[in-house]
A and B are shown apart, each in its own frame.
Chain A
Amino acid sequence: MEAIVFFVSAAIILAGGLGVIVLRNPVHAALSLVATLFGVAVLFIDMEAYFLAAVQVIVYAGAIVVLFLFVIMLVGVDKAEDIYAEPIIKQRQFAALAAAGMLILVALVGVAFAGDVTGQPSNEDMTISRAIENPDGTTTPAETSNINQLAEALFTDYVFAFEITALLLTIAVVGAVVLARRPKGDLQPLPDVEPSWALRKPRAVTPTEATDPSAGDDADQDPDETTVDQAATDGAETDEAKA
Chain B
Amino acid sequence: MSEFLRSYLTVAIFGATGCLLVGAFVGLSALVRPTRPQAQKYLTYESGVDPVGTGWSQSNIRYYVFALLFVMFDVEAVFIFPWATRLEAYGYFGLVEMAIFIFILALGLFYAWRKGVLRWV
Q: Smallest Cβ distance from B108 to chain A, in angstroms?
A: 4
Q: Are B82 and A150 in contact (CB under 8 A)?
A: yes
Whether the pair A169, B75 counts as a contact (CB closer than 8 A) is yes
Is there a chain A Cβ closer than 8 Å to B63's Cβ? yes
Residues B111 and A173 in contact, CB atoms below 8 Å apart: yes
Q: A162 within 8 Å of B by Cβ? A: yes
In the bound complex, do residue A63 and residue B74 qualify as a contact, i.e. CB atoms below 8 Å apart? yes
- CB pair A169–B64 under 8 Å, yes or no, is no
Contact across chains for A173 and B64 when beta carbons are under 8 A apart: no
Decide: A66 near B70, CB < 8 A? Known: A169-B75, A174-B111. yes
Q: Once the chains bind, are A243 and B121 in contact (CB under 8 Å)?
A: yes
Judge if B22 is at the interface, Cβ distance under 8 Å. Answer: no
Q: Which residues of B contact A173 (CB under 8 A)?
A: 65, 68-69, 72, 108-109, 111-112
Chain A residue with Cβ nearest B55:
A77
**Which residue in B2, B62, B72, B85 is a CB contact (below 8 Å) of A169?**
B72
> How far does the Cβ of B6 sit from chain A's closest Cβ, in whole Å?
8
Overall SS of chain B's interface: helix
Contact A78 B62 (CB under 8 A): no
Which residues between 137 and 161 of chain A lie within 8 Å of chain B, taking CB atoms? Answer: 143-144, 147-148, 150-152, 154-155, 159
Taking a contact as CB atoms closer than 8 A, the residue among A74, A169, A170 that contacts B59 in the complex is A74
A243 close to B119 (CB less than 8 A): yes
CA of A5 to CA of B5 in the docked complex: distance in angstroms? 9
Asked if B19 is an interface residue, CB under 8 A from chain A, the answer is: no
Query: Is B117 an interface position by the 8 A CB rule?
Result: yes
B111 contacts A177, C-beta separation under 8 Å: yes
**Which residues of chain A are within 8 angstroms of B68 by Cβ–Cβ distance?**
67, 172-173, 176
Contact of A239 among B56, B77, B111, B121 (CB under 8 A): B121
Say if the beta carbon of B79 comes within 8 Å of chain A. yes
Would B56 and A2 count as touching, CB distance under 8 A?
no
Question: Quick one: which of B64, B69, B74, B93 contacts A71, CB cutoff 8 A?
Answer: B64
CB-CB under 8 A for A1 and B1, given A177-B65, A177-B112: yes
| B115 and A172 contact, CB distance less than 8 A | no
A168-193 interface bits toward B, Cβ cutoff 8 Å, 1 = contact, 0 = none: 01101110110111100000000000
- The residues of B that contact A45 with a CB separation of less than 8 Å are 5, 8
Contacts A151-B83, A151-B86 given; does A73 touch B101 at CB 8 Å: no
Contact A151 B82 (CB under 8 A): yes
- With a 10 A CB-CB cut-off, give which of B74, B86, B89, B116 has the most chain A CB atoms: B86
Residue pair A170, B108 in contact (C-beta under 8 Å): yes
Query: Residues of B contacting A200 with CB < 8 Å?
Result: none
Q: Which of B56, B78, B115 has the most CB of A within 10 A?
A: B56
> Given A67-B67, A173-B108 in contact, is the A155-B90 Cβ separation under 8 Å?
yes
Residue A94 at the chain B interface, CB threshold 8 Å: no
Q: Which residues of B line the A interface, CB within 8 A? A: 1-2, 4-5, 8, 54, 56-59, 61-65, 67-72, 74-79, 81-83, 85-86, 89-90, 93-94, 97, 100-102, 104-105, 107-109, 111-112, 115-117, 119, 121
Q: A147-B82, A181-B115 are in contact. List 5 more A-B contacts (CB 8 A).
A: A59-B75, A76-B56, A166-B102, A169-B76, A239-B121
